[in-house]
A and B are shown apart, each in its own frame.
Chain A
Amino acid sequence: MSCAGAGALGGGGAGKTVTVAIVSNSQMQDAIKLVPEFEKTHPGVNVRFVSLSENQARAKITASVATGGNEFDVVMISNYETPQWAADGWLVNLQPYADKTPGYDPQDFLPKVRDALSYQGNLYSVPFYGESSFLAYRKDLFQQAGLTMPDHPTWMQVRDFAAKLANKKTGMSGICLRGLPGWGEVMAPLDTVINTFGGSWYDMNWNAQLNSPATSQAVDFYVNLVRDYGEPGPAVSSFGECATLMGQGNVAMWYDATSVVTALEDPSQSKVVGKIGYVPAPVEKTAHSGWLYTWSLAIPKTSENKQEAWDFMSWMTSKDYMHLVGTKLGWGHVPPGSRASTYQIPEYQQAAAAYLQPTLDAMNNADEEHPTAMPVPYTGIQFVSIPEFQDMGTRVSQQISAAIAGQTSVKDALDESQKYAQTVGDTYKGVSK
């Protein structure tokens, strides 16, 4: 390519270049900072990053991989994409690479995470970071109000707490919940609520269940909870808004990813460090309800630098990397939820004392295979593992978000959602699981 040189205006150099597409979360930013350490030990390899917000990254990576674009050697995807893309033949089987690499120890990955990233028993992406969901609450506020958070709260209890702690005058919200449209936004916590209320997306025959009594009850509960006792502007709130509100001391409880700790336990961002307690995701009809999500790294089949790509990603997901982050950037920066050994590091245990056990418990209890009270034909907790889910989930989320904003009723929103879901479900009828 004659123009290739001009394409690299920002510099460049000899050797092979590995291009990595990642989602711009703080742990990934840390990895970018530490890359010189990798390049020191791998002099022939240049690593370049494309760092994008979650929605943008997902759209771009999917379009690129699906059309056989070859601009990326390593892509950051999740446990939603990995099994599907492995089945489509778009990803390189990483099992042989992982087995061959001395000291990499793929058995050390948390079992639920490893399963979620495997297809037919082979790893197709390797976890960088994993999360479940749990409930964060202000211990000091509960004490002041004479309330006690149970070790395993139910959603009904949580609502009662929220009602007691919400105070319009002082600007205190009882609870913060996501309401922003997007299948990875409002739908993530809401799906776990639907599951534990006994609802689901489909029954065993792929009949959509979005306006079934159980699902309706769950959505009704969620929407009213956030409307009555939730944060201001819930229909546009997501992780970031809730992190800000709770970090600034304006929220008493927050149900979200276990990664909330990065925002809440960092003194440079949060005014409530040390005042937060963590309990498992609230339940109703199931024993556990937390979700399972991981950001993981995979190599598209089209990559021309597979070995170098693996060299880099095995470095970024290795045991040594955890120590590197811990010593260079601080132990609070260590990416959680990927390796069991991380939780054995004494320094990490100390730094993460406030949330280490709740996080690990949540990770180990998240069950992608049996997410709901009743059997379903799909896997996935906060998603349905079919390619249409991104679009369907987003359309449904828009309806829910409109209900949260008060622009439509929950019933109308769900009736509309049911139509989308049934259209998709019909294409799976008669197809065995």
Chain B
Amino acid sequence: MTTTIEAATVPKRAAKRPEHGPGSKADGWSRRLPLLPALVFTFIITQLPFVVTIYYSLESWNLVRPGSRHFVGLSNYAQVFTDSQFRQVTLNTVVLTVGSVLIAVALGLLLALMLNRAFPGRGVVRTLLITPFLITPVAAALLWKTTLLDPTYGLVNFILRPFGAGQTDWISSFPLTAVMMAIVWQWTPFMMLLILAGLQSQPDDVLEAAGVDGASSFAIFREITIPHLRRFIELGIVLGTIYLINVFDQIYMMTQGGPGIASSNLPFYIYQRAFLGFDVGQSAAMGVVVAILTTIVSTFALRLIFRTFSGNEASA
């Protein structure tokens, strides 16, 4: 089975990379030129503020205590690393990001499989399903906090009440879960769309051939569909992680990071240091630490995932 697919796809891939002439200097530049505007733009807009952030991180500067600004070297960093809350919040960030992405992908896969079958009104159901992704996150978070999860007037408890379980105060008892629910609700449709796109791009002839061969549906799913979907699922995981690691709106609107710091993630915690403590130096130091941490983690994660993509590019 596997061999059939590879046989079908390999020639296509091989043909994709035509050998261009030997890379002369002029040729190299003409190839780089289209890349430059985007590269320069991104560099200026994203890296310069980051450099300023590094500079601020070496200062003691409280915005609301004028005249307090002075150079302190690395002491802000020392504080970050001894801050037990910072560690707790880092853990929250990991749980929130990984949890939301995995649940959204799993649900998205199920929904995509569901939508990939023909049934009356499929278009309408798909429209209903993608809508949460289109809703402004600020509005979605408010919706969850008030109409859905409110302990007294919320619909969730209203539905649970006949089963004797409608007294849960979701947002204070399970703050991280509540935030995750709102996020998953919005991101599942995105994952679903991506995976659905993957399903619909399956070459029909291969599936038919497999069906004629008498392979069971489950075998077809395992042997053909899942390997085919892998690329789409991985793309979903990468995009989801990138966005959700910096998620802010939902936490800000739903829990303000509480109770305590139970639902604070790193961006929210830094926000509080910057806009509540007005401690520019320390929030900058935290920002730098977070940037370094995420870059390290994502380097590993991306390299892993890049393997599939680079499979297109270099090998094959």
Decide whether A and B assemble into one complex.
yes
User: Does B66 belong to the interface (CB within 8 Å)?
Assistant: yes
CB <8 Å contact, B151 and A233: yes
CB <8 Å contact, B272 and A236: no
CB <8 Å contact, B260 and A398: yes
Q: 7 nearest interchain CB pairs? A: A402-B260, A391-B277, A235-B172, A233-B169, A387-B64, A59-B275, A233-B151
Shortest CB-to-CB span from A65 to chain B, Å, is 9
User: Does B17 belong to the interface (CB within 8 Å)?
Assistant: no
| Inter-chain contacts of A88 with B (CB < 8 A) | 64, 66
| Inter-chain contacts of A90 with B (CB < 8 A) | 66
What string of 1s and 0s marks CB contacts (under 8 Å) between B95-138 and chain A?
00000000000000000000000000000000000000000000
Measuring CB to CB, which residues of chain B are less than 8 angstroms from any residue of chain A? 62-66, 150-153, 167, 169, 171-173, 255-262, 272-273, 275-279
| Inter-chain contacts of B172 with A (CB < 8 A) | 179, 233-236, 401, 404-405
With CB as the reference atom, state the residue of chain B lying closest to A85: B64
CB <8 Å contact, A62 and B173: no
Considering the chains assembled together, what is the distance between the CA atoms of A181 and B262 in angstroms?
12
| Inter-chain contacts of A349 with B (CB < 8 A) | none
* Further 8 A-B residue pairs, CB within 8 A, beyond A233-B151, A405-B172: A232-B169, A233-B152, A236-B169, A236-B258, A390-B277, A394-B276, A401-B172, A401-B259
Specify the main secondary structure of chain B where it touches its partner.
Answer: loop
| Inter-chain contacts of B64 with A (CB < 8 A) | 62, 66, 84, 88, 387-388, 390
**How many interface contacts (CB-CB < 8 Å) are there between A and B?**
101
Considering the chains assembled together, what is the distance between the CA atoms of A165 and B272 in angstroms?
39
Most buried by B among A90, A398, A402, A404: A398
Considering the chains assembled together, what is the distance between the CA atoms of A62 and B261 in angstroms?
23
CB <8 Å contact, A390 and B276: yes
With CB as the reference atom, state the residue of chain B lying closest to A67: B63
User: Does A182 belong to the interface (CB within 8 Å)?
Assistant: yes
What string of 1s and 0s marks CB contacts (under 8 Å) between A149-182 and chain B?
0000000000000000000000100000001111
Would you list 5 pairs from A and B whose C-beta atoms are within 8 A, ordered by A residue?
A62-B64, A88-B64, A233-B172, A387-B62, A394-B276
When the two chains form the complex, which single residue of B63, B152, B173, B259 contacts A398, counting CB atoms closer than 8 Å? B259
| Inter-chain contacts of B279 with A (CB < 8 A) | 391
CB <8 Å contact, A62 and B258: no
Measuring CB to CB, which residues of chain A are less than 8 angstroms from any residue of chain B? 55, 59, 62-63, 66-67, 84, 88-90, 171, 179-182, 231-236, 244-245, 250, 387-388, 390-391, 394, 398-399, 401-402, 404-405, 407-408
Asked whether A171 and B277 contact (CB < 8 A) given A66-B66, A235-B258, the answer is no
CB <8 Å contact, B278 and A66: yes
Considering the chains assembled together, what is the distance between the CA atoms of A306 and B280 in angstroms?
29
Considering the chains assembled together, what is the distance between the CA atoms of A394 and B274 in angstroms?
13
CB <8 Å contact, B261 and A398: yes
CB <8 Å contact, A181 and B278: no
CB <8 Å contact, A232 and B171: no
Asked whether A398 and B257 contact (CB < 8 A) given A88-B66, A234-B172, A236-B169, the answer is yes
| Inter-chain contacts of B169 with A (CB < 8 A) | 232-233, 235-236
Asked whether A399 and B260 contact (CB < 8 A) given A59-B275, A387-B62, the answer is yes
| Inter-chain contacts of B276 with A (CB < 8 A) | 59, 390-391, 394
Most buried by B among A63, A88, A182, A235: A235
Specify the main secondary structure of chain A where it touches its partner.
Answer: helix
Considering the chains assembled together, what is the distance between the CA atoms of A233 and B276 in angstroms?
25
With CB as the reference atom, state the residue of chain A lying closest to B170: A233
| Inter-chain contacts of B260 with A (CB < 8 A) | 181, 398-399, 401-402, 405, 407-408
Shortest CB-to-CB span from B263 to chain A, Å, is 10
| Inter-chain contacts of A89 with B (CB < 8 A) | 66
CB <8 Å contact, B258 and A181: yes
Shortest CB-to-CB span from B276 to chain A, Å, is 5
Considering the chains assembled together, what is the distance between the CA atoms of A182 and B262 in angstroms?
14
CB <8 Å contact, B259 and A235: yes
Most buried by A among B255, B256, B258, B262: B258
Shortest CB-to-CB span from A313 to chain B, Å, is 23
Shortest CB-to-CB span from B286 to chain A, Å, is 14
Shortest CB-to-CB span from B153 to chain A, Å, is 8
When the two chains form the complex, which single residue of B63, B167, B255, B277 contacts A236, counting CB atoms closer than 8 Å? B255
When the two chains form the complex, which single residue of B65, B167, B258, B275 contacts A63, counting CB atoms closer than 8 Å? B275
CB <8 Å contact, B151 and A407: no
| Inter-chain contacts of B171 with A (CB < 8 A) | 233, 235-236
| Inter-chain contacts of A232 with B (CB < 8 A) | 151-152, 167, 169
CB <8 Å contact, A402 and B259: yes
| Inter-chain contacts of B66 with A (CB < 8 A) | 66, 88-90
Asked whether A182 and B256 contact (CB < 8 A) given A59-B275, A394-B276, the answer is yes
CB <8 Å contact, A405 and B173: yes
CB <8 Å contact, B278 and A391: yes
| Inter-chain contacts of A388 with B (CB < 8 A) | 62, 64-65, 277
CB <8 Å contact, A233 and B150: yes
Shortest CB-to-CB span from B281 to chain A, Å, is 13
Asked whether A245 and B278 contact (CB < 8 A) given A62-B64, A398-B259, A402-B258, the answer is no
Considering the chains assembled together, what is the distance between the CA atoms of A181 and B276 in angstroms?
13
CB <8 Å contact, B152 and A171: yes
| Inter-chain contacts of B277 with A (CB < 8 A) | 388, 390-391
Shortest CB-to-CB span from A300 to chain B, Å, is 14
Asked whether A250 and B152 contact (CB < 8 A) given A62-B278, A63-B278, A66-B63, the answer is yes
| Inter-chain contacts of A171 with B (CB < 8 A) | 152
| Inter-chain contacts of B273 with A (CB < 8 A) | 391
With CB as the reference atom, state the residue of chain A lying closest to B64: A387
Shortest CB-to-CB span from B49 to chain A, Å, is 15
| Inter-chain contacts of A59 with B (CB < 8 A) | 275-276
Shortest CB-to-CB span from B10 to chain A, Å, is 53
Considering the chains assembled together, what is the distance between the CA atoms of A235 and B275 in angstroms?
22
With CB as the reference atom, state the residue of chain B lying closest to A89: B66
Shortest CB-to-CB span from B68 to chain A, Å, is 9
Considering the chains assembled together, what is the distance between the CA atoms of A88 and B173 in angstroms?
42
| Inter-chain contacts of B256 with A (CB < 8 A) | 55, 180-182
| Inter-chain contacts of B272 with A (CB < 8 A) | 391, 394
| Inter-chain contacts of A179 with B (CB < 8 A) | 172
CB <8 Å contact, B152 and A401: no
